[in-house]
Amino acid sequence: MDGGAARLDAHAHTAQNRTMLSFAFRRFLSAIPTLLILIALAFALIRVAPGGPFDTEKQIPPEIEARLNEAYHLDEPLYQQFGRYLTGLAQGDFGPSFQYKDFTVTELIAAGFPVSLKLGGLAMLLALLVGISVGTLAALRQNSRTDHVAMAAAMTGISIPNFVLAPLLVLLFAVTLRWLPAGGLGDGSLINLVLPVISLALPQIAYIARLTRGSMIEVLRSDFIRTARAQGLPGREIILGHALKPAMLPIVSYLGPATAGIITGSVVIEQIFGVPGLGRYFVQGALNRDYTLVMGVVVFYGVLIIMFNFLVDLAYRWLDPRVKL
Amino acid sequence: MSVQMAARPNDDPLLRVEGLSVSYPGGQPDQQTIHAVRNLSFVIAAGETLGIVGESGSGKTQSALSLMGLLPETALKAGSAIFAGRDLLSLDDGKLNQIRGSAISMIFQDPMTSLNPHIAIGRQMSRVLERHQGMSRRTALKVAAEMLDAVRVPDAADRLRQYPHELSGGMRQRIMIATALLCKPQLLIADEPTTALDVTVQAQILTLMHDLQHELGTAILLITHDMGVVAGLCDRVLVMRDGQMRECGSVNKVFYESQDNYTRELLAAVPRLDEVQPRRLAVVGDSEAEATADIDSRPVGDTMLTVDKLEVRFSAGRPGPFRPVQFLHAVAGVSLELGRGETLGIVGESGCGKSSLARGVLQLVDVHAGRVTLLGEELGMLDKQRLKQRRRQMQIIFQDPLASLDPRMTIADIVAEPLHTFFPTMSRTRQLVKVKAILERMGLEAGYMNRYPHEFSGGQCQRIGIARALIAEPELVICDEPVSALDVSVQAQIVNLLMDLQQDMGLALIFIAHDLAVVRHISHRVMVMYLGRIAEVADRDALYNSPRHPYTQALISAVPIPDPRVERNRDRTLLAGDVPSPLEPPSGCAFRTRCPLADARCAAETPGLRTAGESLVACHHA
Amino acid sequence: MNEAVRGNSLWADARQSLRRNRAAMTAMAIMAVVCALVLLAPLLSAYEFDSTDWDQISEPPSLVTGHWFGTDDVGRDLFVRTLYGGRISLLVGLAATLVSLVIGIAWGATAGYIGGRTDQVMMRTVDVVYAMPFMFFVILLMVFFGRNILLIFVAVGAVNWLDMARIVRGQTLSLKKKEFIEAARAGGVSNFNIVRRHIVPNLLGVVIVYVTLTIPQVILVESFLSFLGLGVQEPMTSWGALVNDGAQAMESAPWALIFPALFLALTLFCFNFLGDGLRDALDPRDRRASG
Ligand code: SF4
């Protein structure tokens, strides 16, 4: 490399920052059509559904139905309704709820989401902490008894759905041992969340542990680890200084699907434990044909997942110096 | 540190290895124990260079790894390796860690994978110093920068902040060496340190190692398959085969007065760049040395292939709304002619476009511009059906013998595939007869027909690949690095086979390789490429004896010759730097960034091909 | 022509190393037993899956009455119901996997083999669909169109094809770069024949592994829906629905939870173990490392 090339290198860092920004921008732009498709899909799905929100057992007089339809703009052409919905969304307005007449969907989401966030966030944290440690440990002791036990446990964790596990945990810890409350939020203290969080986190723990083990073993086999050993670095330093970062890359990419998994899981977990979160609203809303509520939750969670994937992508690019932007 | 200071009686060797054995017990009852190294003994004196040479599977790398305690856990070691009063083989990791990276350090073959891609260079280097010399990170980084200077890395301080992927292969290997030398080790183990590098870069690294050894007095254990590298760098040589030592002695003794059959055969099997009279390469294990055949007397027939200003380009990176498509000009206007029965050798370093040229000629990649005419027909103008028919006349042999065979097909199916395509009406029995015949011609038993590729060695796979290429009786065969993945002894067999086949079938061959010696051996004419263009074309002897282009000259002088006396007394033109990225080739003459003769005109004007002496040369000053 | 030596194909090698994998072999044996039980369900018990035994409501398991797994709160035999539920769960698993297999392979192989713009557009589509909170859509579909087992197949299959498409595309891309594909092209083999003779057989290993791992995922999704009360309709049942019923009565009749849960978990467990074993056996990477 001659002088010219070296000068080019000197600019590499600022250039890299710039490409990072432009990547973020491009990636952000590409998320927009995804968002629109999501909203359109949710909108369309609900409009083609048979039966309106006011189909209840007792017959509503046609005039009243018409009035209701008008009040909720259900008499407008579809594209107008869609436009109205989009404009509302842009202002953070998900429209009124059809069932909970006194609330807007935004209010319902605002009420349910913090609970779900607490539950999901704790579950994710727990999953990452336990999953990564167990996986790393298993990888370091590959083919030892620790490894076999950990991996068998992980396999069990993947194979037992959390809606099977949750009742069993309740049966054991709440009903039989009476250590923990069986459901509800009680006085709001964290102890009420222990069982739901564990049930929600377990499958993810299992998955992350397996993923970590696999990627750690792969990394430990690589040539640069052999170099580090040839340099006389002690095991701890090799793991922390050389292996951990590359081994974590697959975990970072898994964060997106993991979030989606936890959100989905929270639907049943909230149901089982009677936690008043967003997942529960969704199920109730779906059963009650509460169009706007259901759509609101779907769109809200969809946006959340898309945003999260965006952040994960950025983090990945930032962590892996090799990725060309 | 304490290890380095330990007093050592002067007449004791630095390292004494005795009865070293490495074996891998089979994990399953039906698997046998593999003996990778058997009863190996040698010594290394302070400051000397010992070369261990051998082909793949000889156990040379295994012995080195065992000294460093780097073998997999399943390996069983026996014997002793006394270094500074301690037995390396019986030390636990903690004790070994005081020696590794400090008193003994090691560099590896592939500098790309051997450096951590996720950590900045400076951090990778400073860790070693912090560990072994208790330096603060600041001091460590300063020392690291000084060491990079010492291995002639330009702008050392800037490099420390970079990541390995931002650097070229040669630069990475320099950094590996610098890191290994940080603690001023007494012994440096180098495992094939230049095998992954281009030949001009290899010359730089070898020179560097030689110089550093003189400056620092470090002993070197050099592990290599390349007899030329040994001849240039080593004081003593140890030849290994199948895990055992065949011979050990001073370089001169082993090269000129070898007592061992295998060593002699191995030396005879290596093609030499400086050989005036080409010959059949000797084949290891074949005691009746074959008669020297002169390949020059072959008549060269009329032109059968014409390539006119061929250009091949690839789009690099994904185009986006904010990014224009960037093109990599792999082949930037190459013209050539080839006659019946002629062999054209094409040489060049990585990125010179030789493989893309081959694929462009065969219409396997989109040709951006230019014409390819085979037997009077312009291939670019043919429709799909006609082109398919023409493919019968032009075939290709690949570099990686195993990868070029479909792993799920039997040998018979693989070799018969061209018959299927070109003679769809041929009966299965008839096909099998032909397959059997050609396999036998390739020196393979017909009984192998129902086996699968993974059951064969590299050399055998390459024979199968050749059989597939030849079964439909083509007239032009392009060999893309056909022997570079093979061991020396196997390489000799394949080269001989190709030469025989050419004679028998009157084939026109294009032989692409980065090994100039092999190309000299097999070719009538040779073309040198650099960054997608022709640098020089000439008849073989003209090119090798009086190269005109500065690049050709440097290339030839960079190739190590397996003859210690010759190798040590050569004048070397060392090129600076690495091949630039083909994505951003220099303006004017592509070679100017490394050319010793470059001037202002070279930067402004792209030189065209013109006659100089017996060569066609693209250089303003040749 | 004299008889040539038979070679060991990669398949034979894989079979051999799978046979050595005790976990995978055990998993296979258990799966065989479960399948047999499920298939032979009507022959194994005197009870019908939907007939009510008013004298035996919420009875614990007993050999005397022939209700080996006990009865539920309307007196139906849980042994038979568990096996019938297994029929549904396995059927959904297989059928939906088949759907995702067909779409995924077609989509992924096309994108991978054609490459370029087509590839970009096709994979971008996959990305977009991937970002959808699909479980919520499936729930909506169930709610609006009623519980239709066919809908479950389609919904689940239509989502799982995404992974399959990605994997197949990645594999196709890397195969396309292999020299033996280039050799075939240089040998004038047509595109169709390259795909048929070279690409598909080499994809098969990955696909088999993936199918084995998709089936339990699908079973899981179905039971998830059933658990929410959105799956199959009474009196038909599935493992998920049984677990749901059992969970509601778990304090008084734990057997109603435990047996279906056991069957469900065991089946998922076996599929996952087998998938892992197959991956090890068919993974070409380790094969070359040992050579
Ligand atoms: S044209 Fe100039 S730079 Fe190029 S090879 Fe000749 S002297 Fe060197």
Taking the centre of ligand 1 as the mean of its atom positions, its distance from the CA of residue B587, in whole angstroms, is: 11
| pLDDT score of A321 | 73
Q: Strand pairing partners for B21?
A: B78
Q: Is the pLDDT of residue B512 over 50?
A: yes
Q: Is the pLDDT of residue B457 over 80?
A: yes
Burial pattern A190-211, b for ≥16 Cβ within 10 A else e, equals eebbebbbbbbbbbbbbbbbbb
Cα B367 to chain centroid distance, Å, stands at 28
Name the residue with tokens 């709440």: A174
Query: Is there a contact between A124 and A204 (Cβ–Cβ < 8 Å)?
Result: yes
Residue B136 CB neighbours (<10 A): 11
Domains of chain A: 113-286 (1.10.3720.10)
Structure tokens given for B318: 């994904």
Q: Which residue has the higher pLDDT, A46 or A261?
A: A261
Q: Strand pairing partners for B530?
A: B533
Query: How far is Cα C151 from Cα B587, in angstroms, rounded to an integer?
Result: 63
A96 pLDDT tier (thresholds 50, 70, 90)? confident
Query: How far is Cα C207 from Cα B79, in angstroms, rounded to an integer?
Result: 48
| pLDDT score of B297 | 46
Query: How far is Cα B233 from Cα B241, in angstroms, rounded to an integer?
Result: 21
| pLDDT score of C3 | 47
Cβ neighbours of residue B123 closer than 8 Å, sequence gap 6 or more: none
Q: Are strands B533-539 and B615-617 parallel, antiparallel or unpaired?
A: antiparallel
Residue A217 CB neighbours (<10 A): 16
Q: Is the pLDDT of residue B499 over 50?
A: yes
Q: Average model confidence (pLDDT) for chain B?
A: 86
Cis preceding-peptide flag for B29 (omega within 30 of 0): no
Burial classification of residue A84, based on how many CB atoms lie within 10 Å of its CB (0-12 exposed, 13-18 middle, 19 or more buried)? middle
B2-110+186-269: which CATH architecture? Answer: 3-Layer(aba) Sandwich (3.40)
Q: Is the pLDDT of residue B357 over 90?
A: yes
In the 8-state DSSP scheme, what is residue B291? P
Q: Is the pLDDT of residue B239 over 90?
A: yes
Neighbours of chain C (3+ CB pairs under 8 A): A, B
Query: How far is Cα B99 from Cα B104, in angstroms, rounded to an integer?
Result: 6
| pLDDT score of A188 | 63
Contact between chains at B398 and C291 (C-beta distance less than 8 A):
no
| pLDDT score of B234 | 93
| pLDDT score of B439 | 92
The beta-strand segments (E) located in B158-243 are 187-191, 219-224, 236-241
Q: Are strands B76-83 and B104-107 parallel, antiparallel or unpaired?
A: unpaired
Cβ neighbours of residue C43 closer than 8 Å, sequence gap 6 or more: none
Name the residue with tokens 């057992």: A57
Alpha helices (H) in chain A, listed in sequence order:
3-10, 12-48, 62-71, 78-90, 105-140, 145-159, 162-169, 194-220, 223-230, 235-237, 244-273, 278-287, 291-319
Taking the centre of ligand 1 as the mean of its atom positions, its distance from the CA of residue B610, in whole angstroms, is: 13
| pLDDT score of B325 | 67
Q: Does C146 touch chain B (CB under 8 A)?
A: no
Query: How far is Cα A100 from Cα A108, in angstroms, rounded to an integer?
Result: 9
| pTM of the predicted model over 0.90 | no
Query: How far is Cα A74 from Cα A81, in angstroms, rounded to an integer?
Result: 7
Do B297-539 and B2-110+186-269 fall under one CATH topology? yes
Query: How far is Cα B578 from Cα B196, in angstroms, rounded to an integer?
Result: 13
Q: Does C265 touch chain A (CB under 8 A)?
A: yes
Least confident of A14-18, B566-570, C270-274: A14-18
Rounded (10°) angle between helices C78-114 and C149-176: 40
* 3-class DSSP state of B305: strand
- Of B589, B593, B594, B601, the residue with max ligand 1 atoms within 8 A of its CB, to mutate for a pocket test, comes to B589
Minimum-distance ligand 1 atom for the alpha carbon of B601: 2
Quick one: average pLDDT of B265-286? Answer: 73
Contact between chains at A231 and B105 (C-beta distance less than 8 A):
yes
Nearest 5°: the CA angle C60, C63, C66 is: 85
Quick one: average pLDDT of B434-451? Answer: 88
Domains of chain B: which residue ranges?
A: 2-110+186-269, 297-539
The 10s digit of each residue's pLDDT in C163-176 is: 888 888 888 888 88
| pLDDT score of A227 | 93
Residues in chain A: 325
Nearest to C166 by CA among C100, C220, C229: C100
A interface with B, Cβ–Cβ < 8 A, is 1-6, 9-10, 12-13, 22, 26, 29, 222-224, 226-235, 237, 241-242, 245-246, 319-322, 324
Least confident of A285-289, C59-63, C177-181: C59-63
Query: How far is Cα A32 from Cα C112, in angstroms, rounded to an integer?
Result: 26
How many CB pairs below 8 A link A and B?
Answer: 112
* DSSP secondary structure string for all residues of chain C: -PPPPPP--HHHHHHHHHHH-HHHHHHHHHHHHHHHHHHTHHHH-SS-SS---TT-TTPPP-TTTS-TT-B-TT--BHHHHHHHHHHHHHHHHHHHHHHHHHHHHHHHHHHHHH-HHHHHHHHHHHHHHHTS-HHHHHHHHHHHH---HHHHHHHHHHHHHHHHHHHHHHHHHHHHTSHHHHHHHHTT--HHHIIIIIIHHHHHHHHHHHHHHHHHHHHHHHHHHHHTT-SSPTTS--HHHHHHHHHHTTTT-THHHHHHHHHHHHHHHHHHHHHHHHHHHH-HHHHHHT-
Cα B456 to chain centroid distance, Å, stands at 22
* DSSP secondary structure string for all residues of C153-222: HHHHHHHHHHHHHHHHHHHHHHHHTSHHHHHHHHTT--HHHIIIIIIHHHHHHHHHHHHHHHHHHHHHHH
Q: Which residue has the higher pLDDT, C250 or B464?
A: B464
Query: Is there a contact between B598 and B531 (Cβ–Cβ < 8 Å)?
Result: no
Contact between chains at C247 and A309 (C-beta distance less than 8 A):
no
Quick one: average pLDDT of B183-194? Answer: 92
Nearest to B39 by CA among B254, B266, B240: B240
Q: Kindly state which CATH superfamily the domain B297-539 is placed in.
A: P-loop containing nucleotide triphosphate hydrolases (3.40.50.300)
| pLDDT score of C160 | 80
Minimum-distance ligand 1 atom for the alpha carbon of B595: 8
